Chain A
């Protein structure tokens, strides 16, 4: 038995080389100046550039707005599709999932085509629409899955105990679907905060997002500064993941058997 576990060794080496080491390198580069010495100056540069800060804050705003819109549009859709009284066929579910497999760039350009077609100029509206368009399926899918698996007897119990439909929805269904909501939020927020090409194409490069700033710096050979910005993004994503994890775990505990 012990011998077969050595089969993991090549992959272990591969992971260290191509997953762990690159991330460590981002960390090292972020705290390194052009000559290889230790420095905080990359972060100081970021803090000292109002333009960069503005882009950073704006990107978070766009990501939050996109996530909230996806949740507001996606939750009812997931709820309707999971409810056997409102929707019997599974074809709608498949139709929502299919576009997830089409290349992101192609979908973004398709949105550009739609805006061209209805003669609405590209800009902030197109950006938000395009983001929601791209990531809505990623919100619907996890919520649908959790609602589909939900034990219907909880809802019946609440009804039997005299809860109004509104109370059933807000006190039973929403709390029980929290794990789906948090993974949906994560699946929408993470790509929106880190995207760069989508914003470029949807605004004809008029609006810059944080991802674009990072890409431009890396492209222009500003590796240390770019690595520092990438590290800032990693921290934001790490915080979001921890936050989403804890909220879903707590709800799981609360919703578990007594």
Chain B
């Protein structure tokens, strides 16, 4: 009985949690203007999403979102990896200071990050647009790369690097052939994390995108919903976003399960899943 009640509670919460998502998905297949009215099955909202008058601005927003996320994730991964190797070899107060500052963007609420960067760009006179959004995204993504690479460096055997140097490798070669392969999993998860954080971001983008008409997917949705609430065209768009995210998550999870399995097999351990 106790178990039944407990399970009922959990599933009740889950049903409430997923009900809005299901409702959106179901009603993206009808043309009714008012949410909750069913005027017959139709995929018109989907086709008008990509062919109607709004298509060009929507597609530009999608392209912007992805290209900003790719650039931000690549730069953050490079900057964060190099930084992590540096921090790993720092000692004392300098290490503490940089670790402390590295935590600030993760602790700061989006609105504060957004406003502070907005004021920075205004003060130095940089016109806000694509570049400032990319810079802003790099600033809040890189700390996560540093944090995902650091543990890999700590686990690494420091003698291997020294051995490579003793065997005549230049520091650059040792970095490329010894350190990088070892910390690669950390870099990959840092990259994926940066990419998702960038795509997901709304507040920081809103403050740093300027007024030249640059839109990403989230600012596009915001502008649209602000004008007329939940317009019918948003329903298919949101359905696509939600199911893309869920699909990606499932793929990433399966992948990490497989990697764990492989690692465990390599180490001769039993798989505990």
Binding site for B on A (CB under 8 A): 1-12, 14-16, 18-23, 25-26, 29, 73, 76-77, 80-81, 83, 85-87, 92, 94-96, 98-99, 101-107, 109-114, 116-119, 133, 136-137, 190-191, 193-197, 200-201, 204-205, 211, 214-215, 218, 223, 226-227, 230, 233-234, 237, 241
Q: Which of B20-28, B55-63, B180-188, B262-270 contacts A (4 or more CB under 8 A)?
A: B20-28
CB-based contact A105/B202 at 8 Å = yes
| Set of chain A residues within 8 Å of B139, measured between Cβ atoms | 14, 18-19
Task: Tally B residues with Cβ within 8 Å of A.
Answer: 82
CB-based contact B230/A23 at 8 Å = no
CB A95 to nearest CB in B, in angstroms, measures 5
CB-based contact B98/A109 at 8 Å = no
CB-based contact A26/B116 at 8 Å = yes
Q: Which of B17, B85, B138 meets A133, CB within 8 Å?
A: B17
| B147 contacts A by Cβ under 8 Å | no
CB A34 to nearest CB in B, in angstroms, measures 14
| A107 CA to B242 CA, complexed, in Å | 9
CB-based contact B13/A77 at 8 Å = yes
Q: Which of B6, B19, B245 meets A86, CB within 8 Å?
A: B6
Given contacts A87-B7, A109-B230, contact A194 B109 (CB under 8 A): yes
| Set of chain B residues within 8 Å of A133, measured between Cβ atoms | 16-17, 20
| Set of chain B residues within 8 Å of A215, measured between Cβ atoms | 111, 206
Listed A/B pairs (29) with beta-carbon separation below 8 Å? A4-B88, A11-B98, A20-B104, A77-B9, A80-B7, A86-B3, A87-B6, A96-B14, A101-B245, A102-B242, A102-B245, A102-B246, A103-B200, A103-B218, A106-B238, A106-B242, A109-B238, A110-B20, A112-B230, A113-B23, A114-B19, A114-B23, A116-B230, A119-B36, A196-B111, A214-B115, A215-B111, A227-B115, A237-B112
Q: Which of B13, B34, B98, B230 meets A8, CB within 8 Å?
A: B98
Q: Which of A98, A102, A194, A218 meets B118, CB within 8 Å?
A: A218
